[in-house]
Each structure stands twice: as C-alpha cells, then as structure tokens.
Structure 1
Amino acid sequence: MNLAKDITNKLRYKLSDKFIQNFSWLGGAQIVYRFFRLATTVTLAHLLSPVDYGLAALILTTNEFVNVFAQCGIDVKLIQSTEEDINDLCNTAYWLNWLIYSSLFIVQCIVAFIIGWSYKNIQLVLPICLMATGYLTIPIALVQCVLIQRENRMSVIAVTHMLQLCIDCILTIIMALLGMGMWAIILPKILVAPIWVWRCYTNHSWRVNSKFTLKNWQEIVKFGRNILGSQLLTTLRNNIDYFLVGTFLGVEQLGVYYFAFNAGLGISLGIITAFGSALFPYLCSVSNNIERLKERFFKGLKTVALITIPLILLQSSLSPFYVPLIFGQKWVTAGAVPILILICLSAIPRPFGDAASQILRAVNKPDIDLKWNLIFTAILVVGLVVGLQWGLVGVATAVLIVHILTIPIFTIWSSRYVIATHPDTILKTSI
C-alpha cells in the first residue's frame, strides 16, 4: 500500500510539473497531427510524382527562407522580459510586426519571379506569391500568441496548431484526390492561415492600446539580431540540402530526397519542436536561480531522450518494411529507404542541441548561440558538398555524421558554460 501511495504521489508530482504539462499538450497535439500527416503522406506518395514533390519543395523552401527574417527575436524578448517592461514592449512589438511582415510580403513576391526565372519555370511564381499572403494576417494576433506562451498556457497553442495542421492535411488529401498535383500541398497552407489568427486573438485579452509607436525598439533589435542570425543559419541548414540536391542532382532526385526527409523525420521533428517550445519559457521563469535552472535543463533532456531515442530507432529499423507497404513500391525503387534511415537517425542528437540553444537564450547569451550556429552551418555545408559526390546517399550520410559528431560537443559545452558563468555560481565561488 505504501509503495502504491509513493508511486501515485510521484506520478501526481510529475504531472503537476509545468514543463511536463506543456510538453504533454504540445507533444500530444503533434502525435494527433502526425496521424493525419501519415494519411496525407500515403495519399501524396501514391498520387503525386517525384516532379510534383520537387516543385512543392522549391516553393515551400523559398517561403521558409523568406519567413526566417520574421524570426528576429521579438517573441523571445517578450517571453524573457520583466513585468515592468512588458506592456511597452508589446505595443512596440505590434507595430514592428506590421512593418516586418508587410515588407516580407513584398520581398517574397519579388523573389518568386527570381526563382521562376532561375529554374526556367514560370508556374512557380504564382504559388510563391500566394504563400506570401499569410504574412498580411500574422501581425493581427502575434503578440497575443507570444503572451500565451509567456504565461505557459501551451494547451491553447497546442490545440491551435493541431486544428490548423489537421485541417491542412484533410484539404491536402481532398485536393490530391482531385488531381491538383503540387497545388494539393501548397493551397491548403494558405487556406488554414486564418485559423491560427482566430484562435490566438480570441484566447488572450491583450489589445494594442497606443497609436503607432516604436518606443524601446532598440532594446528589441539589440536582443533580436542574434536570434535572427541564429534563425537564418538554422533555416539555411534545414534547406540548403534541398537547394544543393535540386541544383546538382535535378528536380526528380529532389523529390525523392524531400519524400524521404519528410517520411523519415516528420514525427521526430514534431516532438523536438514541441520540446523546444515547452522548454524555453520553463527555463526563463527560473533563469536567475542556477540550481533550479540546472534541474529543469537536465530534466528536459532526460524527458525528451526517453521519448525520442526509442521512437527514432524503432522507426528507422522498420522502414524497409513499412515504406513499400504504406507508401508504395515506387519509393523503394527510387532508392528512398536508405536515405530515410540515415535522415531519421540524424534526429537523435537534434533535441539536445535545441535545448543547449534554449538555455543560452534564457540567460541572455544569444550571441554565443549565434556563433555556434555559424560554426555548425559551415561544417554542414562542407559535409553536404562532399556528400554530393555520392548522390543522395552521400548527402544523407553527411547530414547524419555532422549531427552526430558536433551537437553532443555543443550541448556539453553550453551547459558547463552557463553553470560556470551564472551570477549565482560566481557569487558562491567568490565567497
């Protein structure tokens, strides 16, 4: 009876932990979405050609590269800021968001014509421009979304993303069955954008309470420039292999690689993203207490390791069986299975690197995270260029080797650096 009581109390304590709650909501939403995503991937694998996949990859990658300039640290600064500063910063952030996203809309439309000319394919212009229309709705509710995260109400964020992404999947399946080709991937993402705006806007009471103002904008920009640099490099890493494969190996080979990447890394990346979203506000709330910061950081690492590592190993080992069964024999014939396995295994160290970046940002050291991202990106690009000599398998092998060798070093170094330079540690040492 005492043993059962102890187990019950421990379980209750763990479930009451805010990080576990947030991670459970975000992770659960990702699992639900991935079931829908699996059905979508199976449908697309049977109905779309590698060329359709390749064109969609170019469009989405272009949008991803432009969108990275919106990741300028405004959200991170609002989550990290004090209660005394939050109101002024929110008003400034609201107007800054409108300036940034309106500019990105114009930039992406210009880039659309450049991409169409570069690939000598004018049909790429319209979908890239349509993808840009989402920028004109995001500022309406972006501050509310960040404040919801700051308050650790991740259940709202989780349900919002789940609704948006699941409806995206349903529409994609319908459009693929209607024979819409690459538009089946692109158009739903445009149509579901208002769902996010509606959910975030109605789930927080904050409203802009001033006329146009950029008060304290320097504080946001100073902090955010390092975040923007890190995000630029992260987006470059996440997409440079697509561009290299498409340029040197062709659109059809890009379609095979894009399929393998999404089929192999989709579930894992969903969990890793949920982990990072839950961990950052959890660390920020105790960033002035080194003991609690250490406890929460290592608890987060342990939690994500127990979930992701077995899942990744299981998925990669079963891929030779489920790929032909679920997605079709044509992807086996195209050589997607070994690529899928290699990319899948590269996910093992990724959450640890993400956690290391989050703890550096939580203690106001985004400049160090930027330097790491610069080094990591340079190493990856060199690896990819070398890997191209052996085709798609060489590219996937380069991705795996670089992640396995570099991320553990960064994670260990970052945790030791934060502990060694934290004011609490310095004070105790001096005493």
Structure 2
Amino acid sequence: MKVNILNNKLLENLAASYQQHFARLIKNALWLLSSEVLGKGSRLLTIIVLAAILTPSQYGSGMLALACHDILRLLLRSGAGNQVINCSEEQLPVIAKNAMSLQWLMCILLIILQLLLAQVASLYFANPDVAQLLTVMAVSYALFPLVSVRVFLLQRNNNMAFVGLCSGLCLLIENLSIAALVFISEDVMAIAYGKIIFSIAWLIIFSFAPSKDFAIGFDWEVIKKLLSSSSKMIFAESGKALQQHLDLFFAAKLLSPESFGLYSFAKSAGIGLSQSLNSAFNNALYPQLCKFNRDGHFEHRVRNIYWLTLLVSSAFVAQAGAAFFYIPLLFADSWTAAIPVSSILCLSACATLFVDVKCNMLRAQRCYSCENFIRLFTLAICMTGLLIYQPESPIALASAMLILAGISLAIFLPINRFHHNKPALKNA
C-alpha cells in the first residue's frame, strides 16, 4: 500500500513538473511573441511608407543590404551566448566574465567583415547603394557588447517578460525612426540610420536589465574553450542565415530590378512576419530545452514540442490565406502582383520552422556536429536547386523555395539524436 502511495505521489509530481515546464515555455514564447508583434506591427507601417515613397529598385536595394547585414548579425548567436545560457551554476561566473571579452572580439571582427562585404556586394550586384547602406549599418555592432551578457543572463533565467517587452520597444523605435526618416528625406539611407538608432535604444534600455553584473575577464584557457564551442556553432548560424536570405541573393542576380523589388516586398510583407513568429518561438524554446537536458528529461518532452510546433506552423498557413486580403487593403495596386508570391513564401516557412526546432534540440544537447550537418546540407539543397532551376520570375522563385524547404524537412525531421552530455567547459 505504501509503495502504491509513493508511486502515485511520484507520478503526480512528474505530471505537475511536466505541466509547469510547458506552461513556462508557452508563457515565454508569448512574451517574445508580444515583442515580435510590437516590432512587426510597426514594421508593417514602415513597409507601407517605404512602398509608398521608394521605387521598387530602391526598395530592393534596401532589402538586399538588410539581408547582408542580418547574415553577419546572426553570427553573434554563435558567440558566448549559448554557453552562458547552457552552463552550470558553478561555471557561470567564469564563463560570463570571459563571454564579455569574446563578444567584443566578435563585434570588432563583424565590423571589419561588413565593411569588406559592402564593397564586394556593391561590385557583385552592381549596386552602389548597397555599399553605402552596409557601411553605415556596421557602426551598430560597436554598441551590442556593452549589454550582451546581461541579455544572455535574462534568457538563462527565463525572464522573457523583460526581454520581450524591451526588444519590442527597441524594434518599435527602429521602425518608427525609419518610417519618419524616409518620409522626410525620401532616401533609402533611412534604413541604415534606423539600425543605428536601434542599437542606441538597445544599449540604453538593457542597461537597466535586472540581471547580475560581472566584470569583464580574459582567461586565455577559458576563452579557448569558449571559442572551441563557438566555432562548432558558427557553421550552423552561417548556414541558417544564408539560407534565410539565399532567395534574395538569387533574386537580385536573376531578376530585373523591378521584379526584384516586387519579390523583396512580397518577402518582407509576408514571410518576414512568419519569421518573427519562428524567432520568438525558438528563442523561448532554447533555454527550456537546455533545462530539460540538464534535468535529464529531454526524451519525454520531444513529442509535445513537435505538437506545439505544429500549432505554431498553423499561423503561417493562416497568414498565407490572409495575404490575399491585407496586401490589397494596405498597399497600392502596384504591389498586388506580390500577393501569390507572399502567400507561397508563408507556406515555405512551415517547413523551415520544423527544421529550426530540430536544430534547436540538437544544440541544447550540444550535438553541434549533427546541427552543422543539417544546416549546411539544407543550404546545399537550396542552393543546388536554385542553381539548376534558375527561376526567372518572382512566382517561380517562391515556388522553388517552397519545394526545396519541403525536401529539407522530409530528409531531416526523422533524425533522432537524444542523449545527455556532460556539462561543457568542465575545467573552466
């Protein structure tokens, strides 16, 4: 009898813990989603202003520069942030101190790389506006290291309410600044100035973050181990960032300036909103996955995570249908040709969401090699498909992206790699 009572209590405790973890995950995702809604709601206003004032070729130049900038900016996620979020409490002080140094090194490197990329992109795409935009945007990296570790600690502690609200406020400031500047100047450079304003707002707002302060440190042995872990993730982040914007690079090269501007608009008005939901969900999911892995409960959560992912992906399907209503309602008739393109791109985001969740699971378990393989191979599938097909219209390019995303999902979703690793940086 006593054994049965104990077993019943154990099952009740496990069920309560199970519900608590997923309630926290949903709560965190909703906080981050509120940030994205705030940001993308204001972004929609910005898109309306840009579409009304800029020509399609100017619009395309701005989106191309943003794509190049975002690829480098996403590399910051391969820095020390994952280690700060995923390490044990004993390792945290040492890792947090050295993480600051690593973030500074990465941001200085990114400034140099973006200045070089500005010249290369300008020559390759025969577009001098891109060089000017990227050069100005490079300045934004200089401010992020000052508060980056504070943000990592907030994520580690699952304080997504603060992260979500402050991130949303920063995005709101950026988007309203771009809309105001482009309305006043009618110049595509307003997009670059908006990025500078965003980084200033990010620095000021997160300086008040309720997280513990750590002095900057530089222990070469710890830095080497952080670099070793970061290097395993840099290919995954590079592959993800490149695949996210690969269609824009092909569009800039294969389509006419007007068609490229149309495709860029369709992507920003459609899949751009879906990518925000993807980002909010995966950013909320990662700290929770790390906790599951530390507690040894990973395998028991996988099926529910996939069901939750399926629920999130249904929003993308809904947006694909809604594009036929909100684009003609909000934008001029000259942009209506982008409606089917935008709808198809929203559907392709469903497959991308599942691949991102799979990679998030592998990263939380420190299966970096498997994550890298998935990211780089999916990029290879996408690039090879576009090189063979050579789409010559926006609708053909969007259809190709949908098919290639589906192929990637079919190949990699069945991969299961669930095991528990010893904490990284054990001797740090």
TM-score (norm 2): 0.88
Is the 2:85–2:287 Cα contact (8 Å) retained in structure 1? yes
For residues 362 and 15 of structure 1, the distance between their equivalents in structure 2, rounded to whole angstroms, comes to: 15
Is the 1:95–1:214 Cα contact (8 Å) retained in structure 2? no
CA-CA distance at 1:192 after TM superposition: 2.0
Is the 2:53–2:186 Cα contact (8 Å) retained in structure 1? no
Is the 1:15–1:21 Cα contact (8 Å) retained in structure 2? no
Write out aligned runs for 1:116-195 (5 A): 116-195=122-201
Label 1:397 to 1:300 Cα distance change in 2 as closer, same or farther (>3 A): same
Equivalent residue number for residue 417 of structure 2: 417
Write out aligned runs for 1:31-430 (5 A): 31-209=37-215, 212-290=218-296, 292-309=297-314, 311-332=315-336, 335-413=337-415, 416-418=416-418, 421-422=419-420
For residues 320 and 106 of structure 1, the distance between their equivalents in structure 2, rounded to whole angstroms, comes to: 42
CA-CA distance at 1:205 after TM superposition: 4.3
CA-CA distance at 1:213 after TM superposition: 3.5
One-letter code of the match for 1:188? G
For residues 51 and 110 of structure 1, the distance between their equivalents in structure 2, rounded to whole angstroms, comes to: 23
For residues 217 and 160 of structure 2, the distance between their equivalents in structure 1, rounded to whole angstroms, comes to: 30
For residues 285 and 234 of structure 1, the distance between their equivalents in structure 2, rounded to whole angstroms, comes to: 24
CA-CA distance at 1:16 after TM superposition: 8.3
CA-CA distance at 1:253 after TM superposition: 2.1
3-state SS of paired residue (1:202): coil
Label 1:122 to 1:45 Cα distance change in 2 as closer, same or farther (>3 A): closer
| Long gaps (5+) in structure 2 | 1-15, 423-428
After superposition, the C-alpha distances for 1:142-199 in whole angstroms (9 at most, x for unaligned) are: 1111111011101111011100111112122222322423123222121121221223
For residues 42 and 385 of structure 1, the distance between their equivalents in structure 2, rounded to whole angstroms, comes to: 33
Equivalent residue number for residue 8 of structure 2: none
Is the 2:348–2:402 Cα contact (8 Å) retained in structure 1? yes
CA-CA distance at 1:98 after TM superposition: 1.2
| Long gaps (5+) in structure 1 | 1-9, 425-431
CA-CA distance at 1:407 after TM superposition: 1.5
For residues 209 and 322 of structure 2, the distance between their equivalents in structure 1, rounded to whole angstroms, comes to: 41
| Matched-pair identity in % | 25
Label 1:373 to 1:121 Cα distance change in 2 as closer, same or farther (>3 A): closer
3-state SS of paired residue (1:369): helix
For residues 359 and 16 of structure 1, the distance between their equivalents in structure 2, rounded to whole angstroms, comes to: 15
CA-CA distance at 1:225 after TM superposition: 1.4
Q: CA RMSD in A?
A: 2.4
The number of residue pairs the alignment matches comes to: 406
Label 1:210 to 1:110 Cα distance change in 2 as closer, same or farther (>3 A): closer
One-letter code of the match for 2:333? Q
Is the 1:271–1:308 Cα contact (8 Å) retained in structure 2? no
After superposition, the C-alpha distances for 1:116-147 in whole angstroms (9 at most, x for unaligned) are: 34444444333211101111111101111111
